[in-house]
Amino acid sequence: MDVDKLNEYWKGVDAALKVSVSQPIYMTYLKNLRLVSLEQSGNGLVAEIGCNSVWVRSFVEGRMWGQIGQELEKMVGNKCEFKFVIESRRVEEWKSVSEAPLFAETKRSGDDFRKARMLEHYTLDNFAVSGSNQMAYAAAQAVAKRLGNAYNPLFIYGGVGVGKTHLMQSVGHEALKSGEDRVLFCPGEEFTNDLIEAIKNKSTEKVRAKYRKLKLLMIDDVQFIAGKMTVQEEFFHTFNSLLTGGSQIIMTSDRPPAEINKLDDRLKSRFGAGLIVDIGPADFELRTAILLIKAKQRGFSLPMAWAQLVATKYEGARELEGFLTKLISEKDLAKIELTVEDVKRLLKNGEKETFGARILSPQEVMNTVADYYHVPLAQIKGERRFKHIVWPRQVLMYLLHKDGGLPLEEVGRLIGGRDHTTVIHANGRVGVEINTNMNIAAEVENLRKKLGLQINH
């Protein structure tokens, strides 16, 4: 069959697909499909549908096959059989269209990730996808493929622990791997402090230069900039200058821009000018998948049945990770293989422990500790080694890891980008103090009470 005819058929299918799925899904997976051939075979027709990558194929086969089939049969007016082909020629074509660079993957060291303030294991591959985050995932993929050209800015919002930071950093990861160095991850709070300092020291030029030279700026928990007029003003200009220069901006928040209190109206509208996607709470399958991914990363072989058991008990990714941490340390302590009974016992204990307790965000823990010791959070996160700063810093690391269940690396990142060995050291020191000094034990208990954590011995 000639190409024009094939294209005409596909145009009909394409039009139907375009209106039936969300824009990110269409842009990421469906836009580049085409009908390669349509041949008579025996009594029916065989259609070959071409796409440009394995991940497009697996998505389309998994979720869109039925619909594509129906639409095509409608166009052709006959029953068809389908085949998928990955066309390398199309890959090239598509790459040039999308302006994606053709260079090979760049090898990156731990230092590269630290410089960009990112965690190395926050990748798209390590991100489990399900209904609640499918759209955000597709959007992140599209943005990673075409920095500055797909959705700009990309705004991701959702509750605590749904994977916003992870997904955002995955885009940064892809950018670094493609050879782009001008990548920076920045918590909203830090961004704010940076600007406040600069305004105070009259060094705004320097700070401007730092942000404006970026190709990809990721601002995490951007709601923190709200309410501070001068900071918002500065950000507004940085934001515009990056977008005009073709740079990509990604932001996360706990809510959509329109609902962020005290956020400048100009920023509200700018934030929504690209794409706003939300991530909902993880369903059971996703929770199980997250556990399996995390266990694998830590070299812990977690049987599926155990993962499912745990996933029925905990709702949030952070709690799941916390439990996994507990399970692994239990195994290290026991020095024998754990059984499913151990898992059940630990889950039961966990119930007691978290009974009545609130789910805390790391930010709440940080603020509470800073308040408690009357030391500004910026100093706790800073480099100074005065005794009155070092101790709160260590207690904070201890609480985030032991009570919050955050991995060592994540704690290090949150507390001013420290190495995980520093966190291990802090945990050791605080642990020893608690066990040998009654006053300190009481102090940490007090803090736990303030945080609303149940105390259990």
Which chain residues interact with ligand ADP by CB under 6 A?
126-128, 133, 158, 160-166, 290, 293, 317-318, 321
Nearer of residues 136 and 375 to ligand ADP, judged by Cβ: 136
Residue with tokens 């399958």: 285
Which of Mg ion, ligand ADP, none lies near 170, with the C-beta cut-off 5 to 8 A by kind? Answer: none
Which of Mg ion, ligand ADP, none lies near 290, with the C-beta cut-off 5 to 8 A by kind? Answer: ligand ADP
The residue type found at 95 is K
Which of Mg ion, ligand ADP, none lies near 133, with the C-beta cut-off 5 to 8 A by kind? Answer: ligand ADP
293/127 Cα distance (integer angstroms) = 8
One character per residue 129-168, x = contact with Mg ion (rule: CB under 5 A) = -----------------------------------xx---
Tokens standing for residue 317: 């990714």
Nearer of residues 141 and 165 to Mg ion, judged by Cβ: 165
Beta carbon of residue 162, minimum distance to Mg ion (angstroms, whole number): 9
- DSSP track, 243-297: HHTT-EEEEEESS-GGGSTT--HHHHHHHTSSEEEEE----HHHHHHHHHHHHHH
Distances in Å between the Cα of 44 and the Cα atoms of 37, 47, 48, 252, 277 are 14, 10, 13, 50, 42
Nearer of residues 33 and 124 to ligand ADP, judged by Cβ: 124
Nearer of residues 33 and 415 to Mg ion, judged by Cβ: 415
Nearer of residues 47 and 129 to ligand ADP, judged by Cβ: 129
User: Is residue 314 a contact partner of residue 282, using CB atoms and an 8 Å limit?
Assistant: no
Beta carbon of residue 254, minimum distance to ligand ADP (angstroms, whole number): 8
What is the DSSP-derived secondary structure letter of residue 300? -
Beta carbon of residue 325, minimum distance to ligand ADP (angstroms, whole number): 11
Nearer of residues 140 and 183 to ligand ADP, judged by Cβ: 140
Which of ligand ADP, Mg ion, none lies near 47, with the C-beta cut-off 5 to 8 A by kind? Answer: none
434/438 Cα distance (integer angstroms) = 7
Peptide bond into 187 cis (omega under 30): no
Residue with tokens 């390590």: 126
Nearer of residues 50 and 172 to Mg ion, judged by Cβ: 172
Which of ligand ADP, Mg ion, none lies near 90, with the C-beta cut-off 5 to 8 A by kind? Answer: none
User: Is residue 144 a contact partner of residue 122, using CB atoms and an 8 Å limit?
Assistant: no
Which of ligand ADP, Mg ion, none lies near 162, with the C-beta cut-off 5 to 8 A by kind? Answer: ligand ADP
Which of Mg ion, ligand ADP, none lies near 399, with the C-beta cut-off 5 to 8 A by kind? Answer: none
Which of ligand ADP, Mg ion, none lies near 195, with the C-beta cut-off 5 to 8 A by kind? Answer: none
Task: Report the DSSP beta bridge partners of residue 49.
Answer: 35, 84
Nearer of residues 122 and 306 to Mg ion, judged by Cβ: 122
Is 39 buried (19+), middle (13-18) or exposed (0-12) by CB count in 10 A?
Answer: exposed
Beta carbon of residue 170, minimum distance to ligand ADP (angstroms, whole number): 10
38/322 Cα distance (integer angstroms) = 53
Beta carbon of residue 231, minimum distance to ligand ADP (angstroms, whole number): 21
220/251 Cα distance (integer angstroms) = 6
Backbone angles phi, psi at 416, to 5 degrees: 70, 25
How many residues in the shown chain lie near Mg ion by CB under 5 A?
A: 2
Beta carbon of residue 384, minimum distance to ligand ADP (angstroms, whole number): 27
SS (H, E, C) 142-209: HHHHCCCCCCCCEEEEECCCCCHHHHHHHHHHHHHHCCCCCEEEEEHHHHHHHHHHHHHHCCHHHHHH
Beta carbon of residue 126, minimum distance to ligand ADP (angstroms, whole number): 6
Q: Does 223 bind Mg ion (CB under 5 A)?
A: no
222/190 Cα distance (integer angstroms) = 10
Nearer of residues 164 and 418 to Mg ion, judged by Cβ: 164
Beta carbon of residue 252, minimum distance to ligand ADP (angstroms, whole number): 6
The interaxial angle of helices 362-373 and 438-450, nearest 10 deg, is 130
Beta carbon of residue 161, minimum distance to Mg ion (angstroms, whole number): 8
- DSSP track, 393-444: HHHHHHIIIIIT---HHHHHHHTTS--HHHHHHHHHHHHHHHHH-HHHHHHH
Tokens standing for residue 21: 């799925």
Residue number, nearest CB to Mg ion:
165
Nearer of residues 207 and 219 to Mg ion, judged by Cβ: 219
Beta carbon of residue 195, minimum distance to ligand ADP (angstroms, whole number): 22
Which of ligand ADP, Mg ion, none lies near 161, with the C-beta cut-off 5 to 8 A by kind? Answer: ligand ADP
**What are the residues binding Mg ion (CB under 5 A)?**
164-165
